[in-house]
Chains A and B, each alone.
With several copies, the nearest count.
Chain A
């Protein structure tokens, strides 16, 4: 088992003929993901690498393939439209990789996706991988191995770092989810924690947060009141200065709110194991799995 993506996941790639889209489509197919179609307006009827059918619109793509998932690699100014197109076409799980989506766009996308009964992951996220089953996005497949640790993170490469260390230590993953670093995104920590709590194949969760906002504090509250499985957490940005955006649009301390210290305190208050360094995840999780 796993969360959000598994063997039944069938994927349409939105922007399949673009630079990033084509590269990662190959990677996903290589990993074993069931990529059933792609969308590039004007290329409907063609095939990607002679195998994957291309459509002009998501409506055509979903009608022809019955796909349940899409992954988006279109430029930032078109990403909101692509997300809405996917949701309107009946896609139930939408993974938006695109970085740089205007935040105001997301204030309209979020309720639209909700009204359509779909789940959005991202935007500005590395996607999701359920090792051995399906990879939707850009997380490098070779650093993952199947297992029973759920991983959820606001970051990309920091996730890779932690997953890499878990894999090296023999701690496989049920699913690794990158929720993305934007201030408004589709899926948050709590959505993932709740799914991991329900997933019979997940025994512990590694959670990587960062400065900015209150998602980690709310996640800690959720862990305290609704989770039975052990959670280990990390907060990036302890040395970040207030008021500066640390790369991610969401990673910013506003006034005195959203600091690493307050998030770590929330973790501790909720009984979440706190990793001081990325490498600490290995021992903390191992201890909790015994």
Chain B
């Protein structure tokens, strides 16, 4: 789960990371009032779950409250990578002597959280990694022991030669690690971590991504979810316990299991088609999930054909068949549908479908070919 910069900053502040104050505005007038309160040049920053906000024009300096209002007016409502900006963070502008990068990610290869730090901050860390890898230091943290002081100091000295600044950075990293663990994060980064002209080390931006699997035991973190910042179809899918990702093609796919769902999309492409989505109905089939899946897929105007690919194991194929019948009875389909199913209760499923005017195939390849052809305006074979 992504959270906004201002939310990540609140979490880090609670752990004691030094971060300049900031307040969130949803209207230009609020932004003006906040800027007036700070009484200094401010930065107005789009709060949206996308990188590259700066390049997209979502981060601007405002020298006066009036300017803050004007800029907020332009940023609010802006689209960044397909997402609408509904909130801006207004925060005093800081003078910057140097910028560094500090991040911790849950690294699958290391089976552990791994710190990445670089004195070349303020820019995309992947770019630094590609062009000047010697400017990045990585450090694996064994969660049985936690981040030790000596490790944080090693990283601190990699960023700063000055003992006071190295210590300040080390302390910030220990707090960042504490926040990472306490939030069930998979990523937490500060970019840039800056040294001010006075020599103080402060965090100017923060990003955190939470492991979805942690949310059940962290209600306070789960409450940070901002559904207005997500695509409505994905919110609906999640609420129906489906995994759905919208794509640009025209073959709507309903599959059980993530691997098979990807393989189905790939096969659509292989046969010259374009998948409209990834959609995994998961292991336990119940007709309601199928109904929700069809509702989400048919809402996409691009979809020209629908493909079901169900391999029944735990999933009962008769549940899926019943779901298809229920959903299409309530809302008759406007596009053709191809149904492939095999496995648990296959005979019952085929019978249900036939009785309701659907045909079903047991062969994945054939079904995919058919769906691709139908989406192109051809006929089912």
A and B interact physically = yes
A184 and B108 in contact, given A112-B145, A158-B259 (Cβ under 8 angstroms) = yes
Q: Which of A102, A156, A214, A239 has a CB less than 8 Å from the CB of B269?
A: A239
Name A42's closest neighbour in chain B (CB-CB): B163
In the assembled complex, the CB of A253 is this many whole angstroms from the nearest CB of chain B, namely 11
**Contacts known (A156-B283, A160-B313, A238-B266); A184 close to B111, Cβ less than 8 A:** yes
Do residues B268 and A239 form an inter-chain contact, with CB atoms below 8 A? yes
Starting from the known contacts A213-B109, A247-B257, A247-B261, 15 additional A-B residue pairs (CB-CB under 8 Å) come to A20-B314, A41-B167, A56-B153, A107-B143, A108-B143, A143-B343, A156-B283, A157-B311, A161-B364, A164-B342, A210-B258, A212-B108, A236-B260, A244-B245, A248-B259
Task: Collect the chain A residues with CB atoms within 8 Å of residue B283's CB.
Answer: 99, 156
Interface check B154, CB cutoff 8 A = yes
Whether B97 is near chain A, meaning CB under 8 Å from some CB there, is: no
Binds A, one of B38-46, B212-220, B299-307, B348-356: B212-220
User: What's the Cα separation between A159 and B258 when bound, in Å?
Assistant: 11
Is the CB–CB distance between A154 and B111 below 8 Å?
Answer: no
Segment 211-238 of A: residues with Cβ below 8 Å from B? 211-214, 234, 236-238
**Interface flag for A151 (CB, 8 Å):** no
Q: Is A111 an interface residue (CB 8 A)?
A: yes
Report how far A244 CA is from B237 CA in the complex, Å.
15
Contact B111 A107 (CB under 8 A): yes
Please tell me which one of the listed residues B211, B217, B260 contacts residue A158 in the complex, with CB atoms under 8 A apart. B260
- Decide if A108 touches B144 in the complex (CB within 8 Å): yes
Mark out the residues of chain A between 40 and 61 whose CB falls within 8 Å of any chain B CB in the assembled complex.
Answer: 41-42, 44, 56-59
Nearest CB of B to A256, in Å: 8
Contacts of A161 in B (CB 8 A): 260, 263, 311, 364
Q: Which residues of A contact B265 (CB under 8 A)?
A: 237-240
**Secondary structure at chain A's binding surface: helix, strand, loop or mixed?**
loop
**How long is the Cα–Cα vector from A255 to B105 in the complex, in angstroms?**
14
8 cross-chain CB contacts under 8 A: A57-B153, A101-B213, A102-B213, A102-B217, A157-B313, A184-B106, A246-B262, A249-B212
Most chain A C-beta atoms within 10 Å of own C-beta, residue among B106, B150, B184, B315: B150
A247–B213 CB distance below 8 A: no
Establish whether residues A181 and B111, one from each chain, have CB atoms under 8 Å apart when the complex forms.
Answer: no
In the bound complex, do residue B154 and residue A57 qualify as a contact, i.e. CB atoms below 8 Å apart? yes
- Report the separation of the CA atoms of residues A88 and B147 in the bound assembly, to the nearest whole angstrom: 13
Question: At the interface with chain B, which of A5-13, A74-82, A190-198, A266-274?
Answer: A74-82
Interface residues on A, range: 35 or more
Is B143 within 8 A of A104, CB to CB?
yes
A160→B343 contact, CB < 8 A: yes
A139 adjacent to chain B (CB < 8 Å)? yes
With a CB–CB cut-off of 8 A, which chain B residues contact A255? 126
**Are A247 and B313 CB-contacts (below 8 A) given A102-B184, A140-B343, A240-B262?**
no
Check if B270 sits within 8 Å of A160, measured CB to CB: no
Whether A132 sits at the interface, judged by CB under 8 Å, is no
> What 1/0 mask marks residues of chain B from 146 to 172 whose CB sits below 8 Å from any chain A CB?
001111011001000001001100000
Contact B153 A41 (CB under 8 A): yes
B358 within 8 A of A: no
Q: A44-B157, A84-B148 are in contact. Are A156 and B259 (CB under 8 A)?
A: yes
A91 contacts partner chain B, Cβ-Cβ < 8 Å:
no
A170 close to chain B: CB less than 8 A:
no
B267 in the interface, Cβ–Cβ < 8 Å?
yes
Residues of chain B in range 96-143 having any CB-CB distance to chain A below 8 Å: 106, 108-109, 111-113, 126, 142-143
